[in-house]
Amino acid sequence: MIFGFIAKIYRKYQEYIHPGIYVTRHGILYREKDCRYNVYPLQRLIVGKVWVGNIPSQEKGRLILHANSELIVKGNFDIIGSTVVVLPDAKLILGSGYINFHSKLHCFNHIEIGENVIISENVIIRDSDNHQITGGNSMFAPVIIKDNAWIGMSAIILKGVTVGEGAIVAAGSVVTKDVPPHTIVAGVPARVIKKDVYYTI
């Protein structure tokens, strides 16, 4: 029965890359030498997933794995018209959820996404400043987005940030510090505007 399910998935998507990784005709996967990926049993990653009603994004979903990078997929995750880049020697851990149209996730060192995470359109997530600032701290710091977090449209998540479980980042926010669980943060820089928040999809 499980082989029939896998065959059905294979027919639906254009290319079967690795157990649990699928690339549709709306997706692009670029892999350099010695990149590694591990998908947990019965979980999957779809690159180029189409939105509700099979309406494709105007932009292809892209997954770029550089040399010696590592991708771990713990749940069912969709890359929808967005770009996910794992730089050399970096590790990206994906739980379940999706990253939506025109968003960009650049993993230079370590980024971890939890379960049931919503990443909306035009979001930027980075764990690096890209350039060393004189007298500053390390150029890299891990980004962790915990279970059931919701990242609103055009938000920016910068290095060293942990977004707590069930937290909501409002549209257009620039997050430079940790977001407490079950809060809403908004603004530039983002600050807590509401506590004890719970939401349903």
Q: Give CA 93 to chain center in angstroms.
A: 9
- The residues, any chain, with a CB within 8 Å of residue 173's CB and separated by 6 or more, are 152, 155, 156, 185, 186, 187, 188, 190
Q: What is the number of other CB atoms lying within 10 angstroms of the CB of residue 66?
A: 19
26 counts as catalytic: no
Q: Which of 26, 66, 102, 131 is catalytic?
A: 131
Buried b (16+ CB within 10 A) or exposed e, 97-134: bbbbbbbbbbbbbbbbbbbbbbbbbbbbbbbbbeeeee
Which tokens belong to 7? 């065959």
Q: Which amino acid is at 84?
A: V
Closest CA to 176 of 194, 193, 156, 196: 156
Q: How many CB atoms lie under 10 A from the CB of residue 12? A: 10
Residues tagged active-site: 131
